Amino acid sequence: MRLKTKLVMAASGVTFAIVLVLSVLFLGEMLRQRIDQTGSSNDVLAREVLLMTRQAVESGLRAHPPADHTDEAFHAAVADALRASSSLNDVMTAIVRYSPAVQDVGVTDSHGYTLVSTDPQMWNQVAMARTEFEMVRRAGFGYQAREIFGAPHVLDVTVPLDRNGEPFLVVHVGVRSTFLLANIEPWLRAAGFFALVAGLVSVLAAGLLANVALRPIEQISRRLEELTVAGEAEPLALPEPRSRVLGLPTGRRSDAVVRVKDTIDRLGRQLRSTEEGYTALQANMNRVLDTLRDGVLLITAAGRAVMVSDAVAHFLVDSRPEGPMVGLRLDEIFRPETGLGRAVLAAFESGRRVPARTVVLEDGREVELSLDPIDDGRGDPGSLGTLLTLRDTETALEIERELEVSRRLAAIGRLTAGVGHEVKNPINAMVVHLELLKSKLAAGTDIAGAQRHAEVLAGEMQRLDRVVQTLADFSRPMELHLRETDLREIVGAVVSLTSHELEENHVHVEVEEPDEPLMVLVDAEMIRQAVLNLVLNAMQAMPEGGQLRLNLRREHHFCVLEVVDQGEGIPPDLLPRIFELYFTTKAKGSGIGLAMTYRILQMHGGAMEVRSSVVADAADRGATFTLRLPLNPAGARGLDLKSER
């Protein structure tokens, strides 16, 4: 059975039960009200008959007193008085005639014998046993329903007339049960119609409810099917139904819950496969963490470690906990009595980001602590956890020195890559001419030709000497005179120096610089030469003229200078070689300028990058050289250092 059918049946059943309960309550209340109204009205009639009975007895006994003092004589006198009272008979007859609910009216003595009645056949007869109307009035719904909806009968409304504290006469008003049923029938028809309408509405509402309730499930089913199909690298836009694509049986395709279940099973298999990949990835990450020299911890919002690198133990002086640290609380890993523990716990309790804080350990080492809360994107820092990083300052400096050596070696390799070519060419020429010279000297005939070969050999030797001399000059240790200088002043001096030449070549210079000084600790003459090389290269790259932009700005702890030209750009295959010594694309270029600029930047602890576009119609066509120099650290003013490179 489909889920929609089950929902419709369940909703219809619940609605039917509610309607049934409400109908029973309504019918019970309606019966109670009708019985109360009928009982009240007929009680009034019975009391009116009781009043007339009292008057008839009093007047009759005065007119015709009993023959003696016996009860039989008194009883006979009372009966004669009642039967002789025309007013009593008129009232009783009028009640029966004009009250449709009343079957008969009679007066009986204390023994149940009828003294007077609207039915003359009942005189001197024992009154028929009838159900007391008051008992029905006080009974529950079930009893009232049986009395009203059962076989037609008469209910008895009684009012006694006491004499000497005991019942003497009793007035009986017979009420037809059919009268009550006739009064209730219109309400019953209305209730039945209401129940029928409620049933139909419940079916419609159940169908609508089923559609509304199943719509999210249908959407979830479609989304899960899309995820499943996407996870299997199958196209989503298919002419066939997705259920057919997913291989569901025909009888199960129409039920959304079944489709969701089957799709979740397929997703479960995919998740298990993904989990295996995640496990492998986690193992790789653990291996990476094991190789890190920095201590890395990932801490939950509750303060427990879920990821700990092996290097963390290096920072725990005589306080390393036994066993694995994953799962321990932060105060169990970092003891509060240690300096590092106090700093870590205080930073974590603050809940704020700690970019870098230096802590001195008990053994004198300096540790740089940083704390980065990870939020859930809703502005709640640390809701997903906190990343704690510990870095040994000495180790960081050692790594920086190693990187510096690597950068220098790479720079030397890049700058001297073209030396072999420059040396090889003259040597090849010398070898060739030397062989020719030897052959001619051996023959002893062509002295002029031998002389020419000797001159070529001398020229190539001079050329080789220039190459070696240039390399020696380039590699010779250079003395740096470092002073605090505003980089804006250096750029301004270069622009002033080249302004005339730039104007002659129709190159317009635009300088963009910040208002605040950009103080760097550099050899001003060398940096001026480096910037001059770049400006002249940019000018030569624009033989038809153009715009040259010099952009100065500050980025974190660096000063950045961009030299942007509108030339033809540098082909991508030549970009890796432009900083090589002797490499040039110009007919009369030496191949030394950019190499020297690169070396100057490297000597100052800076860096240089280049990007280029050779697309003819591109807005960024040309080359952009970016120079980065570290800002002057505090206290490094007026230093003269010698750097041997």
| Model pLDDT, residue 73 | 84
Q: Which stretch, 319-333, 485-499, 604-618, has highest mean pLDDT?
A: 485-499
Class of domain 3-191: alpha beta
DSSP-derived 3-state class of residue 609: strand
> To which residue do tokens 């007013």 refer?
87
Q: Which stretch, 131-140, 377-386, 574-583, has highest mean pLDDT?
A: 131-140
Burial (CB count within 10 angstroms: exposed 0-12, middle 13-18, buried 19+), residue 377: exposed
Is 0.75 surpassed by the pTM of this model?
A: no
Common-topology check for domains 3-191 and 292-393: yes
- Domain 483-641 fold is Heat Shock Protein 90 (3.30.565)
Beta strands (DSSP E) in 338-429 are 354-360, 366-374, 385-392
Cα gap 91→440, rounded to integer Å: 174
As a whole number, mean pLDDT of residues 120-125 equals: 84
| pLDDT single digits (tens) 245-301 | 444 444 444 565 666 667 777 777 777 777 776 676 666 666 666 566 778 888 888
More confident residue, 483 or 33: 483
| Model pLDDT, residue 240 | 42
CA 74 to chain centre: 100
As a whole number, mean pLDDT of residues 471-476 equals: 60
Under 8 Å CB-to-CB from 629, ≥6 apart: which residues? 487, 520, 522, 527, 558, 559, 561, 601, 604, 605, 606
- Is residue 635 scored above 60 in pLDDT? no
Alpha carbon separation from 213 to 218, 221, 223, 414, 552 (Å, rounded): 9, 13, 16, 70, 63
HSE-up (13 A, CA, CB side) for residue 463: 17
Q: 381 with 375: CB under 8 angstroms?
A: yes
**Where do the structural domains in the chain lie, given as residue ranges?**
3-191, 292-393, 417-475, 483-641
Residue 639 pLDDT class (50, 70, 90 cuts): very low
Q: For the chain, report the end-to-end CA distance as a whole number of angstroms.
A: 86
More confident residue, 615 or 473: 615
DSSP-derived 3-state class of residue 373: strand
Torsion angle, CA of 104/109/112/116, rounded to 10 degrees?
A: -30
Cα gap 427→461, rounded to integer Å: 8
CATH 3.30.450.20, applies to 292-393: yes
More confident residue, 35 or 634: 35
Q: Any alpha helices (H) in 252-322, and if so which ranges?
A: 256-291
Residue 519 pLDDT class (50, 70, 90 cuts): very high
Alpha carbon separation from 435 to 326, 329, 430, 439 (Å, rounded): 76, 82, 9, 6
Q: Is 323 left (phi over 0), alpha (psi -120 to 50) or beta?
A: left
Residue 20 pLDDT class (50, 70, 90 cuts): confident
DSSP 519-567: EEEE-HHHHHHHHHHHHHHHHHT-TT-EEEEEEEEEETTEEEEEEE--S
As a whole number, mean pLDDT of residues 624-642 equals: 64
> To which residue do tokens 């860096």 refer?
607
More confident residue, 317 or 575: 575
More confident residue, 305 or 273: 305
| pLDDT single digits (tens) 396-446 | 666 666 666 666 566 566 555 555 555 666 677 777 777 777 777 777 666
- Mean pLDDT computed over every residue of the chain: 77
As a whole number, mean pLDDT of residues 571-579 equals: 78
- Is residue 627 scored above 90 in pLDDT? yes
